[in-house]
Amino acid sequence: MSNECKVDCGRRRLVVSTAAVGGVGAVAALVPFVSSMLPSERAKAAGAPVEADISKLEPGQMMTVEWRGKPVWVIKRTPEQLESLKKTDSLVADPNSDRKAYPTPAYAKNEWRSIKPEIFVAVGICSHLGCSPSDKFQQGPQASLPDDWQGGFLCPCHGSTFDMAGRVFKNKPAPDNLEVPPHMYLSDAKILVGDDKKA
């Protein structure tokens, strides 16, 4: 270490640690704000169900709503994407969603893992270590994916891949399919995520 650095770098360290303390102070200042959230916001954070308006969702598009602090994807699958599930059936680790770590609700325990075939609802968190996978709906060869890719999701953290029904492919680090959260239709255009009991 040069003499100049001994002096300057020490000073820089001091500035950095002061800034870090300032950061903690800033976070502490936010707490009163959080505790004064509206009751509905507090209820949402605690896990109250959330509504998703899917009226504008076009085939091939996805939207994300937040439930219990987690991203929940709603995807309107195209006929081609639904067809791809037949091709991936023999390539995925748990084709019928029999594993119990994230039990698939009975109404989604079918070949599409959904209530209506075209609308897929899943928690967008990898069952390995909790990263959020990226959508890779385009079929065919591309970076980090096999040449016969049928569309699905890629977790950038350790390379787990999932098909268009969130089923994890064989021999990947993720032990389970993407979780299908409890959900129900309030109307053709509205889904309630987080509750499947109120009719």
Q: Closest separation between CB of residue 175 and ligand FES, Å? A: 10
Q: Closest separation between CB of residue 52 and ligand FES, Å? A: 24
> Closer to ligand FES at the Cβ: 18 or 134?
134
> Closer to ligand FES at the Cβ: 126 or 184?
126
Please enumerate, as own/partner, the contacts of 151-160 that have beta carbons within 8 Å and a separation of 24 or more: 151/81, 151/84, 152/84, 152/88, 153/178, 155/126, 155/128, 155/131, 156/131, 157/126, 157/128, 157/129, 157/131, 158/128, 158/129, 158/131, 160/126, 160/127, 160/128, 160/133
Q: Closest separation between CB of residue 196 and ligand FES, Å? A: 27
Q: Closest separation between CB of residue 156 and ligand FES, Å? A: 8
Q: Closest separation between CB of residue 161 and ligand FES, Å? A: 9
> Closer to ligand FES at the Cβ: 95 or 173?
173
> Closer to ligand FES at the Cβ: 82 or 157?
157
> Closer to ligand FES at the Cβ: 37 or 129?
129
With CA atoms as reference, report the closest residue to 59 among 111, 119, 110: 119
Summarize as ranges the residues that interact with ligand FES (CB under 6 A).
126, 128-131, 155, 157-158, 160, 173-174
